[in-house]
Chains A and B, each alone.
Chain A
Amino acid sequence: MKGRIHSFQSLGTVDGPGVRAVVFMQGCPLRCICCHNPDTWDVAGGEEIESEKLVEKILRFRNYFAGKGGVTVSGGEPFLQSAFVCELFEKLKVHGIHTALDTSGCLWNEDVERLLAFTDLVMLDHKYPTEEEYRLYTKGSLETTEKFLGELEKRGIPTWFRRVIIPGKSDSPASVASLNEVARRHTCVEKIELLPFRNFCVEKYQALGIPFPLAETPTPDKETMASLEALLDEKYR
């Protein structure tokens, strides 16, 4: 079947373990305040590609995947096209390629459930600690994310938490400590990645004519990042 992708990046080293090909899916139901890929929002944008073609394209990079590397599907939100991603992963698994999802976990349906059967790693973007903040900053719900986390726990799928640290929004020690608490309650969680917010995407917003609320927000400094990292259990760092 065909899917809509925003772009393909052949050298990914910061979206999962090892050297990875990263597929950015088109379309996202959330509107996160810090989103750095606003050009992926529109479900009708991007370009269509057959899953088979995408597999062929990815396999051209398999010599680089040695050891820990593989494929990460990011976005946008991969779950808007779960059936496509499922087909993609199913085919990749035939070739023994490691598969990872970078998702907000904002959807749960049969397609997503089927997709998990072919997924080796989930990088779950756990954006905020409270339902209120979720509604305010993402237009989504914490509840669905936590439900999805429960499903990962049930299946024992290795999971990494990711959270973007935005000055004044998500950089409080309490907020990070609570994320650590959530991790402790789930044995599937192996790692927590705190990602410093960056405003490199400001030009993308300008080009799209969309106001970017965080245009003036600075990147948190190294010291802040280090002190927040220190709040995480050793095994998650």
Chain B
Amino acid sequence: MEFTEWTGFVEGEWQVGVNVRDFIDKNYKPYTGDGSFLKGPTDRTKKALAEFERLRELEKDRGGVLSVDTSTVSSLCNYKPGYLIDEDLIVGLQTDEPLKRGVNPFGGIRMARSACEAYGYKLSDKIEEYFTYRTTHNDGVFRVYTDEMKAARHCALLTGLPDAYGRGRIIGDYRRIALYGIDYLIAEKKKDKEKVGENYMSVDNVRLLEELYQQINFLGKLKEMAKLYGYDISRPASTAREAIQWTYFGYLAANKAQNGAAMSFGRTSTFFDIYIERDMERGILDETGAQELIDDLVLKLRCARHLRTPEYNELFGGDPMWITESIGGMNLNHKTLVTRSSFRMLNTLYNLGAAPEPNLTVLWSHALPEAFKKFCAKVSRDTDAIQYESDDLMRSQFGDDYAIACCVSAMKVGKQMQFFGARTNLAKLLLLAINGGVDNVFGTHIGPQMGPMEDEVLDYTKVMERFNIYLEWLCRLYVNTMNCIHYMHDKYAYEKTQMALHDTDVERLMAFGVAGLSVITDSLSAIKYATVKPIRDESGMIVDFETIGDFPKYGNDDDRVDEIAEDMLVRVHEELKKTPAYRGARHTLSALTITSNVMYGKKTGSTPDGRKKGEPFAPGANPMHNREHNGALASLNSVSKLPYSSASDGISNTFSIIPDALGRSDEERVDNLVSILDGYFLNNAHHINVNVMNRETLLDAYDHPEKYPNLTIRVSGYAVNFVRLSKEQQREVIMRTFHTAI
């Protein structure tokens, strides 16, 4: 295959079949220098940003939603073209106006209806009527859910399941559109379809044939969508601007078609860099122009919106999109994948201001160029807006062209997809086991019925025996529930646009999750090393605990308790694997909760670690707050012991620190942050969210101390916990750090 658009590229296997990785490998130019070449925003960018900010303010004033098109079902070609400003460089909006939300009822009509109503809108009669005759994913799931599945969901043992909304977490390889053009992709899919058609028509093959039909159909619609904006994407992109535009069209189409929980972007900056370098060599693009293109792409990504209910937003902590873009990393030949465009992507945080979206994720390796490491640390210090994940760990499992979906879920771009599985609440499961099959918050009878444990003092061995029975039961139920959900999602809300940008022979992962890891770990440690006496109500149900004596706590680099957490992940993963997953998916596991740790806590009774009923959990794999006595690195050491081999869907850790605690001078802070990241990842840790607290966050911590339990401030010679300081002292710290009195 040969296209004129490929002139100037180094030849390779990528020309004889879809292979973006090979294209990157043959053509990219690693960059080991610093960020001094970067350019600021152009006047055009400033104008676009001002318009975006104006609309965003308006959106806030209107209670979080600017406007809703209640009479159109969101799809690729259902809206007229929309623009942020007339001079948009990268074009395309989800609806006909910026920040206007479309409705997407394919996941579930109820979610769409109540989301409209929550913001003062009414779903049009036309859509309501259409969906009385059409089965949604949500309808399908509830047709098959067993009573036990419903009960587990009701008492929040299984939570956040994607049974009423789009599962997301699928990353189309949007780069394929730029490299090959739609026509070539259609031709390849047609060949695949022909080949599948030669097989015995098993259920699997019939389903795959229908899916391929839909994929081909939607590739055609994608072309039409681009045409509405005046672009012909049937052929490959010929310039950097086109490459970014073609790629973005793919993402936009996915976002129009799916209201997915996490709609990630992939790993694009080094891919774009190849086109930018070529344009620069041809003399048709300069640095200012290159940055402007990346800035405009990012601004368009920041315009992405989905219509969701306030309850959904409570569960996920805000109105997140998780447009994750993975940056950096090393390739399999130990050469860095960092390019100038990796810097440009991070530079958008300066040019457009800090923002949580797109979710910029640096793939960290000890071997990354030092100048890039320092630049990342500087951006973290200035903006709080980067998360880091271990490229060394992930590369060994996923190769060198993987990307992150959502926060921590790695998958090979275009070669693996994921069935998202939310999470189960382990602390609640422990309480359920101790109470022998009754949930002590909801009163639900569920699981094997054994009655509450009758011991005066809980015995570790006996508790573990029980726990294992309940874990075995739960894991089977969890896999089965997921199998129902994803069967129905494939059937009624299949992601044809995104799957068209995957290999036909895709590998599937089923991603399970746990919440409350630190709570169950410390609770089991308390039972093992201290004296835990159950407190019962009149009916004999255990509703609280008296814990006498001290016990080792997770987060202090103490192997006695850290081993309990390690063992828990292994145990859960092994149990899950015993029940086959839908479509032969591989079982993976994560310890990830982001902000819903507060919600999990609300629904969970008192635990033996001393946490009272309703009190929040620690997020993700974080140790519980106020239990660390050896400082932040001891806490990082505890987390880094958790085995990625058993939790390859990710182990999330949130790390908050104020600039003063990172060192005295700006330069020291950057160097020390690099040392912390290097040390943490050398210890085989997987992920870290770095919060170098800025003024806003510190003020928020002042107003909402419950959200910042671990915030430590260090001054010479000793450390104090921010939230433990008196209000007056907190004000003093804020004033001192940011020259602002409150």
**Interface set of A (CB-CB < 8 Å, partner B):** 7-15, 18-19, 21, 24, 36-37, 57, 60-61, 63-69, 74, 102, 162, 193, 195, 198, 200-201, 219, 222
Is A63 a contact of B631 with CB atoms below 8 Å?
Answer: no
Is B631 a contact of A11 with CB atoms below 8 Å?
Answer: yes
With the chains together, A201 CA to B718 CA distance in Å? Answer: 9
7 CB contacts below 8 A, A to B, read: A11-B631, A12-B631, A21-B633, A36-B717, A37-B718, A66-B675, A201-B718
With the chains together, A107 CA to B310 CA distance in Å? Answer: 65
With the chains together, A18 CA to B673 CA distance in Å? Answer: 10
Interface string of B694-713 (1 = CB under 8 A from A): 00000000000000000000
Contacts of A219 in B (CB 8 A): 732, 736
With the chains together, A198 CA to B662 CA distance in Å? Answer: 18
Contacts of B717 in A (CB 8 A): 15, 36-37, 74, 102
**What bracket does the count of chain B residues touching chain A fall in?**
35 or more
Contacts of B117 in A (CB 8 A): none
Is A65 a contact of B716 with CB atoms below 8 Å?
Answer: no
Contacts of A18 in B (CB 8 A): 671-672, 675
Q: Which residue of chain B has the shortest Cβ distance to A6 in the bound complex?
A: B718
Interface centre among A13, A14, A19, A57 (most CB of B within 10 A): A13
Is B682 a contact of A8 with CB atoms below 8 Å?
Answer: no
Is B663 a contact of A14 with CB atoms below 8 Å?
Answer: yes
Tell me, rounded to whole Å, the shortest Cβ–Cβ distance linking B636 to chain A.
8
Is A63 a contact of B683 with CB atoms below 8 Å?
Answer: yes
Is B632 a contact of A66 with CB atoms below 8 Å?
Answer: no
Is B739 a contact of A222 with CB atoms below 8 Å?
Answer: yes
Q: What number of residue pairs across chains A and B have CB atoms under 8 A from each other? A: 98
With the chains together, A102 CA to B634 CA distance in Å? Answer: 22
With the chains together, A82 CA to B323 CA distance in Å? Answer: 56
Contacts of A198 in B (CB 8 A): 715
Q: Which residue of chain B has the shortest Cβ distance to A195 in the bound complex?
A: B716
With the chains together, A8 CA to B736 CA distance in Å? Answer: 26
Is B675 a contact of A14 with CB atoms below 8 Å?
Answer: no
CB-CB contacts below 8 Å: B625-672 with A = 629-635, 637, 660-664, 668-669, 671-672
Q: Is B71 an interface residue (CB 8 A)?
A: no
Is B630 a contact of A19 with CB atoms below 8 Å?
Answer: no
Beyond A10-B557, A24-B718, list 10 extra A-B contacts (CB 8 Å): A11-B714, A13-B661, A13-B662, A15-B716, A36-B718, A37-B718, A61-B634, A64-B678, A68-B671, A219-B732
Is A8 a contact of B672 with CB atoms below 8 Å?
Answer: no
Q: Is B676 an interface residue (CB 8 A)?
A: yes
Is B672 a contact of A13 with CB atoms below 8 Å?
Answer: yes
With the chains together, A68 CA to B670 CA distance in Å? Answer: 13
With the chains together, A75 CA to B736 CA distance in Å? Answer: 26
Is A9 a contact of B672 with CB atoms below 8 Å?
Answer: no
With A8-B630, A14-B715 in contact, is A63–B663 under 8 Å at CB?
A: no
Contacts of B716 in A (CB 8 A): 14-15, 162, 193, 195
Contacts of A10 in B (CB 8 A): 557, 630-635, 637
Contacts of A195 in B (CB 8 A): 715-716
Is A66 a contact of B678 with CB atoms below 8 Å?
Answer: yes
With A13-B668, A14-B715 in contact, is A64–B633 under 8 Å at CB?
A: yes
Tell me, rounded to whole Å, the shortest Cβ–Cβ distance linking A6 to chain B.
10
Which of B678, B719, B725 is A63 in contact with, Cβ under 8 Å? B678
With A11-B632, A63-B682, A63-B683 in contact, is A200–B676 under 8 Å at CB?
A: no
Contacts of B675 in A (CB 8 A): 18-19, 64-67, 69
With A64-B679, A66-B678, A102-B717 in contact, is A9–B729 under 8 Å at CB?
A: no
With the chains together, A68 CA to B672 CA distance in Å? Answer: 9
Q: Is B720 an interface residue (CB 8 A)?
A: yes
Which of A19, A36, A60 is B676 in contact with, Cβ under 8 Å? A19
With the chains together, A196 CA to B251 CA distance in Å? Answer: 52
With the chains together, A60 CA to B717 CA distance in Å? Answer: 21
Contacts of A162 in B (CB 8 A): 716
Interface centre among B629, B633, B676 (most CB of A within 10 A): B633
Is A61 a contact of B637 with CB atoms below 8 Å?
Answer: yes
With the chains together, A57 CA to B631 CA distance in Å? Answer: 13
Is A13 a contact of B663 with CB atoms below 8 Å?
Answer: yes
Contacts of A222 in B (CB 8 A): 736, 739
Tell me, rounded to whole Å, the shortest Cβ–Cβ distance linking A125 to chain B.
10
Closest 8 pairs between A and B when the two form their complex, measured CB to CB: A64-B679, A10-B633, A10-B631, A63-B679, A11-B632, A63-B682, A9-B631, A10-B634
Is B672 a contact of A60 with CB atoms below 8 Å?
Answer: no
With the chains together, A7 CA to B628 CA distance in Å? Answer: 12
Contacts of B629 in A (CB 8 A): 7
With A13-B672, A66-B675 in contact, is A200–B661 under 8 Å at CB?
A: no
With A13-B672, A19-B675 in contact, is A61–B633 under 8 Å at CB?
A: yes
With the chains together, A219 CA to B734 CA distance in Å? Answer: 13
Is B663 a contact of A200 with CB atoms below 8 Å?
Answer: no
With the chains together, A57 CA to B632 CA distance in Å? Answer: 14
With the chains together, A193 CA to B716 CA distance in Å? Answer: 10
Q: Which residue of chain B has the shortest Cβ distance to A8 in the bound complex?
A: B630
Is A61 a contact of B732 with CB atoms below 8 Å?
Answer: no
Contacts of B630 in A (CB 8 A): 8-10
With A13-B672, A66-B675, A67-B671 in contact, is A60–B557 under 8 Å at CB?
A: yes
Q: Which residue of chain A has the shortest Cβ distance to B684 in the bound complex?
A: A63
With A63-B682, A64-B676, A67-B675 in contact, is A9–B732 under 8 Å at CB?
A: no
Contacts of B732 in A (CB 8 A): 219
Q: Which residue of chain B has the shortest Cβ distance to A199 in the bound complex?
A: B729
Q: Which residue of chain B has the shortest Cβ distance to A102 in the bound complex?
A: B717
Q: Which residue of chain A has the shortest Cβ distance to B720 in the bound complex?
A: A200
Interface centre among B629, B630, B662, B664 (most CB of A within 10 A): B630
With A19-B679, A36-B718 in contact, is A200–B729 under 8 Å at CB?
A: yes
Tell me, rounded to whole Å, the shortest Cβ–Cβ distance linking B728 to chain A.
10
Contacts of A102 in B (CB 8 A): 717
Contacts of A7 in B (CB 8 A): 629
With the chains together, A178 CA to B660 CA distance in Å? Answer: 28
Is B672 a contact of A61 with CB atoms below 8 Å?
Answer: no
Contacts of B671 in A (CB 8 A): 18, 67-68
Q: Which residue of chain A has the shortest Cβ distance to B729 in the bound complex?
A: A200
Q: Which residue of chain B has the shortest Cβ distance to A68 in the bound complex?
A: B671
Interface string of B671-693 (1 = CB under 8 A from A): 11001101110110000000000
